[in-house]
Structures are given as structure tokens and as C-alpha cells.
Amino acid sequence: MKKTITCLLLTTGLTGYLSAQTPFRDKSDKNEGKVIHMDKQMFLDNIFDYTSGSTDWKYKGEKPAVIDFYATWCGPCRMVAPLLKSLAKEYKDQIVVYKVDTDKQKELSAAMGIQSLPTIIFIPKTGQPQIIIGAANKTTFRKAIEEVLLKE
């Protein structure tokens, strides 16, 4: 009986330890309509490989993208966040919305020339990205999405 209880406690403890060490990641593509937090590797894989030495912009994504470079301490960034979340839902079948925490992704932020926050980059499937620096209203973001990302 004592061995059974000890074994049960060890199993429970080990399971709790392992689940705390390995965050759950949903491998399915259920990010449509959501703002996706992006790191350097995700940027290199899905947006543009700035480490390749190529200076010619070539977007890798399947859908146009919006990237919000922000910081948690930035007031205007906190004002923009719910607007982009709402637009991600509204345009879920047409665009992808990403967020990059500039304090955690310093190399990526420097490589993209981010100097002011928030900086929102609109990346069409073809052509050059367009940038809005500073907070803007939902109408301005919607207009940028319609004219830069969805215009054919």
C-alpha cells in the first residue's frame, strides 16, 4: 500500500513537472482570426529571411500580413492592440496579423529598423511593405488593409 501511494505521488509529480516545462502548442492551423506573437525564427520562416544577404524584398507568406512592433510598456501600443485584434477577426480569411515584442525580439526589431512604437508594417503578397508609425484609429488601419493588402 505504501509503495502504491509513493508510486502514485511520483507519477503525479513527474507529470506536473513535465507539463510545466513543456508548453502546449496547438499544431493545427487555428490561428486564423487571431493575432499571432512572432519571434525572429518565425519571421525568417514566414516573412523574409534578412540573414540571407539578399536586399531584394521577397515575402514568403501565402496571405498578406500586418506586423505590429510593440512594447508592453508603450501606451499607444496598448491602444492599438484591440483594434488589430478586431481587424484580425474581421479579415481572418484574407490576412494574417502578427505582433512582435520589441523588448524580447531586439535583433529582429533592429533588422527591421524599428525606432518608434508602435510601428505597424503592412505586407502585401507582392510589392513593397508600407508602414504606419504611431497609434492610428481603426478606420486608418482598415483603409491600409483595403488599399495596400487587398487591392488587386
- Give me the active site residues, please: 74, 77
Q: Which cell numbers in the block locate residue 106? A: 531586439
The reply to whether omega before 82 is within 30° of 0 (cis) is no
Q: What order do you get walking across the sheet with 35-37 strand by strand? A: 35-37, 96-101, 65-70, 119-123, 130-133
Give burial (CB, 10 Å; 0-12/13-18/19+) of 76: middle
Q: Read off the amino acid at residue 101.
A: D
